[in-house]
Amino acid sequence: IFVNIDNNTDFNNLNGATWNYEGSTYDPDTRLFTSNGINDFNYTRSGMQDIIVPQDNYSNITLTGSDTKTSQGNLDVNGDLTISGSAQLNVDTGNDNITFAGNWINTSTNADPFVEGQETVTFDAGATQTITNMNGESFYNLTINKSGGVVNLASGSNVVVSNTLDMTAGNIDISDQNLTITSTGNIVNGSVASYVLTSGNGELIQQNLGAGGRTGAVSYPVGRFTNSYTPLIVDNSSGVADDFGIRVCSNVYEEGGCETGTLVSDLILDRTWFISEGTAGGSSADITFQWNAANEVGSFNRADMNIIHYNGSIWEKLAEGIAASGTGPYMATIPGVNDFSPFTIEDGASPLPVSLVKFEATPKNGKVEVNWVTASEINNDYFIIERGANTSSFEEIGIVEGNGTTNQTMSYDFKDNMPFGGTSYYRLTQVDFDGTSEVFEPVKVTVPLTGQLEAFVYPIPSEGDFINLQLSGFDKSLTAEVKIVDVKGEVVHLEEIFLDKDTGFNQKINFSKQLKAGIYILNVTTPTPVVKRIMIK
């Protein structure tokens, strides 16, 4: 405690010094100077303390020990402000705003480490600053007014603003943390010069949007990078009040992911907006997207666009043939949205590729019914249906004509009248008019054994030295003879094999001599003979 000190006595914390102060109150006539270089001023009392307002500003200030440290006026901090131990910072006593150029470090174990009152905390450095906020304390007013750098949220440091987030200048990067604006708060001055970066999985959340809460257009000033401002506006006035979270990711992927999956590389915006709602159902939100010319991929036509979203299986169109407004940045609005998921905008002339909705194979009465469904098709010529005894080797068993280009859901079916007995696999390949093809994942099916053999031979054509032979259907063990016959009826290969009903038969048949190119007949001589034609190249 300062006692018996003459009025206007000066105290200086010099460059490189550390002042551990344990006083509880101080005489306002005492003049403290702390801006001489880089130094530390620590409030370390195990009890209540007044925070001295220096004649200039603090370098680094730490509040530690325990109990409440109460500000006696506005604080200007050139370095870091740290709340640690079990201390509490209280600025709810009047005009006690905080402006600082360093890092906000709040690791206090106090149940309420920052009593913010109705004061403003301003980040105003020209370099990067960090908020470490381990207890999730809220700010009343938070102002970003930087001449350079960004404000980063440290890992696990979610931030809540209960009144105003003022984006005057500079960006705040939330990374994997959430920045929440409560039902009594709002965001002002968001612009291309100052916005929220969603560089990770964190969301900018605004609470209580809708009837009975915050109505009208609510801006989400967001962007993925410091040079790419792509904000969103949500107006849920017609829906039940709810919390809405927004983040934006680079590019668009067929699987609806954030920067992972199969890239869509033409006639699309290079941004995906992820929108979440706190409680599913009851919303009816008008959503306005905003982007720049640099976000348009390929010969993107702003006069003919589709707003689309990913429903968990496919990209669906919510609005078709719409035109953008604005002259850069550009905007487009979709009204009455009640299903929230990834969103983007595509060129209307080239729909986004979609995934296969369904592909299944079902045994029925000794046959296998193959069914599949597409949500839309682009230049689809035909489908190839293949069957295999395993997931690495398949043979073609049928072709079904496609529907070219269509935005309608299409259903297809194919019946395999002579399936393998036991376990087998079915695979679908889609072929475009230009010959481009896409192979989908195979599905497994099990057909009850019938006692009648079925044969699967690969590769076809063979090089003439061997074939792989898969036999199925037999319900008892037996010995069989494999015979290869040429077109003259001469036997060119003969061997005996054993069919084990428990392990099946899937082996390589090595020919006794190299076979010449041509057509041959494979005979498996069992009580029910199997005959297959094979080709040697």
pLDDT digit string (tens) for the chain, length 537 residues: 455 556 667 788 889 899 999 888 876 767 788 888 899 999 999 999 999 888 889 999 999 999 999 999 999 999 999 999 999 999 998 779 999 999 999 999 999 999 999 999 999 999 999 999 877 779 999 999 999 999 999 999 999 999 999 999 999 999 999 999 999 999 999 999 999 999 999 999 999 999 999 999 999 999 999 999 999 999 999 999 999 999 999 999 988 999 998 899 889 999 999 999 999 999 999 999 999 999 999 889 999 999 999 888 778 888 989 999 998 899 999 999 999 989 999 998 765 555 678 899 999 987 899 999 987 787 889 999 998 878 887 888 899 999 888 777 889 999 998 787 778 899 999 988 888 888 888 999 988 766 667 778 888 788 999 998 888 777 778 888 999 998 888 999 999 998 877 667 888 899 988 999 999 998 888 777 788 888 898
Nearest to 92, CA basis, from 61, 123, 56, 51: 51
Per-residue pLDDT at 165:
98
Q: Cis bond leading into 54, ω under 30°?
A: no
- Find where tokens 């309420």 sit: 112
Question: Which residues does residue 446 pair with via DSSP β-bridges, in sequence order?
Answer: 423
Q: Are 2 and 24 in contact (CB under 8 A)?
A: no
Q: Are 60 and 39 in contact (CB under 8 A)?
A: yes
Cα radius of gyration (the chain): 36
Between CA 235 and CA 241, with CA 236 as vertex, the angle to 5 degrees is 140
Q: In what order do the strands lie in the sheet with 218-220?
A: 218-220, 232-235, 285-291, 330-337
Nearest to 333, CA basis, from 287, 284, 272: 287
Chain-centre distance for alpha carbon 122:
32
Long-range interactions of 360-365: CB distance < 8 A, separation 24+: 360/443, 361/426, 361/443, 361/444, 361/445, 362/445, 363/419, 363/445, 363/446, 363/447, 363/448
Q: Are 25 and 3 in contact (CB under 8 A)?
A: no
Q: Are 350 and 266 in contact (CB under 8 A)?
A: yes
What are the DSSP calls for 255-292, one per residue? T--SS-SSB--SSEESEEEEEEESSSSS--EEEEEEE-
Per-residue pLDDT at 119:
96
Q: In what order do the strands lie in the sheet with 356-364?
A: 356-364, 367-374, 410-416
What are the DSSP calls for 317-359, one per residue? EEEEEE--BSSSSEEEEEEEE---SEEEEEETTSPPP--EEEE
The rounded distance, in Å, linking the Cα atoms of 405 and 378 is 4
The rounded distance, in Å, linking the Cα atoms of 536 and 515 is 7
With 0-12 / 13-18 / 19 or more C-beta atoms within 10 angstroms meaning exposed / middle / buried, residue 216 is exposed
Per-residue pLDDT at 409:
82
The rounded distance, in Å, linking the Cα atoms of 220 and 13 is 44
User: pTM (2 decimals)?
Assistant: 0.69
Per-residue pLDDT at 242:
97
The single-letter DSSP state of residue 295 is G
The rounded distance, in Å, linking the Cα atoms of 407 and 376 is 4
Q: Are 273 and 233 in contact (CB under 8 A)?
A: no
The rounded distance, in Å, linking the Cα atoms of 396 and 432 is 17
Chain-centre distance for alpha carbon 178:
15
**φ, ψ of residue 536 in degrees (nearest 5):** -110, 130
Per-residue pLDDT at 128:
97
The rounded distance, in Å, linking the Cα atoms of 301 and 347 is 6
Alpha carbon distance, N-terminus to C-terminus of the chain: 101
The rounded distance, in Å, linking the Cα atoms of 172 and 189 is 13
Q: Which run of H or of E encompasses 316?
A: strand 315-322
> What type of residue is 168?
T
377 CB-near residues (< 8 Å, 6+ apart): 402, 403, 404, 405, 406, 410
Beta-strand ranges (E) seen in 338-486 are 342-347, 356-364, 367-374, 377-388, 395-406, 410-416, 422-432, 437-439, 443-447, 454-458, 466-472, 478-485
Per-residue pLDDT at 3:
53
Beta-strand ranges (E) seen in 91-210 are 98-100, 104-106, 114-115, 120-123, 129-133, 138-153, 159-173, 179-181, 186-188, 196-197, 204-209
> What type of residue is 99?
T
